[in-house]
Amino acid sequence: MKRLLDTILIFALSLFCFSSFGSAGSPAPALTPIPSVEILVSPTSLPVAWQRGKTYLLATGIYPSISIKTPASGTQWIKIHRSPAPGQVILAPIIIAAPYVEISGTVSAAPSSYGIRVVNSTAGGKCIRLGDSRATKQPGNIVLQGLDLQQRGLDTDTPDDCLYAWAAGPGLGADDVAISHCYMHDTGRTMMLTMYESRWTIDNCLFSRNSSAPGRKSHPLKQHGEGWSDYGGTSITFQNNRMEDIEGTAFITLMKQKEFVITHNGWDIFGNSFVYSSANPTARMGVDNGVVASTDTPIGTTNHVSIHNNLFSGVVGLNSGIHFPNGIGNTVTDNTWQSCCKCYIDVPHDGNTFASTPQK
């Protein structure tokens, strides 16, 4: 028995020495980083400060507004996830004013479960705002997934937006943002308003119903809107999304800005559906300039935008096509239009199909 115990002791010591010093007394390899620590949170136990390197699991319930401002520490993330418990987490509006933040409501293999719903009930409010000051650099490295961003409803005539990332000038926009399996809907202006952002990917999201004044001074509504209003975005991927029942300038509008020359560059828009629901039940008036359109004139350019393999169905309004008055390297290929209003495309295009859709 003693000999057996001695053998076990020697073996244990040898394992200790090998793990501590490596072979031949050399230093051991670096240890694997400690994984993110999980912390269960309830509506009554929100942290005073969101800590880096932590994953916060939100229990089912109704939460107040949260603001994430913890300064960056290298590339350590703050992760806020819905807990695996049944039910939905409901949050008041969120301000993300720091980089490396992930908010995820995805709790199962069905990523469209929208386990977190963010509700705005204030006139002119935003469901999620990136940055707390337009004059400073907006936060980057942001991941949003499995979220239901619910606005106040249609025809509010106030600047209600689901996602707001407005920057005061070039170089101040948010970089490296990934948005997937989110639902943005029923807003008085636009689903997303972004400015000078770069390297964004939006995929597998649903955008439903916005409202917009038609631009006539005599009309009772004055707030103009679009599905997505962008100023100066660069290197943007918009893929496998569905935008439905959008009205205003366009489903996606690449905007001009009086103070600066705006350049939109390097957009890839593919695999999406731009549609109107059967019989247009919410009586949206449609789009004016096109499904994807630029308002760059008289200054600014839209360059290297590729629009391909998309479906345009039942679009109403003045133009269901693509409108880029200025720019180079833009292409529209292999898309399908079916049962849309007049379609006018003023950039190089080829391989598109037009079914029951008149062309100008």
What is the tens place of the pLDDT at every residue in 50-83?
999 999 999 999 999 999 999 999 999 999 999 9
Check residue 247 and give its pLDDT: 92
Closest by alpha carbon to 167, among 78, 234, 237?
234
The pLDDT score that the predictor gives to residue 133 is: 83
Q: What pLDDT is attached to residue 266? A: 98
Helix or strand (DSSP H, E) at 242: strand 242-244
Residue 94 identity (one-letter amino acid): I
The whole-number average pLDDT for the span 260-285 is 89
The pLDDT of residue 277 is above 70:
yes
**For 44, which DSSP code?**
T
Contact (CB, 8 A) for 88 and 116: yes
Q: What is the mean pLDDT of the chain?
A: 86
How much is the pLDDT for 91?
Answer: 97
Measured CA to CA, the distance from residue 20 to residue 14 in angstroms comes to: 10
Q: What pLDDT sits at residue 109?
A: 54
Distances (CA, A) of 251 to 125, 230, 287: 21, 11, 7
What distance in Å separates the CA atoms of residue 24 and residue 32, rounded to the nearest whole number? 22
Residue 269 has pLDDT above 90, yes or no: yes
In this predicted structure, what is the pLDDT of residue 172? 94
- State both tokens at 245: 């029942």
What are the tokens at 17? 């020495």
Using left for φ > 0, alpha for ψ between -120 and 50, and beta otherwise, residue 251 falls in alpha
Residue 8 scores a pLDDT above 60: no
pLDDT of residue 26: 38
CB 233 within 8 A of CB 255: no
Report for 13-17, 281-285, 318-322: range of highest mean pLDDT: 318-322
* pLDDT at 279 (0 to 100): 76
Share of the chain above pLDDT 90, in %: 70
Which whole number is the average pLDDT over 308-325?
96
Residue 24 — very low, low, confident or very high, per pLDDT cuts 50/70/90? Answer: very low
Read off the pTM: 0.87
Determine contact, residues 104/82, Cβ cutoff 8 Å. Answer: yes
With beta carbons less than 8 A apart as the criterion, state whether 207 and 181 touch.
no
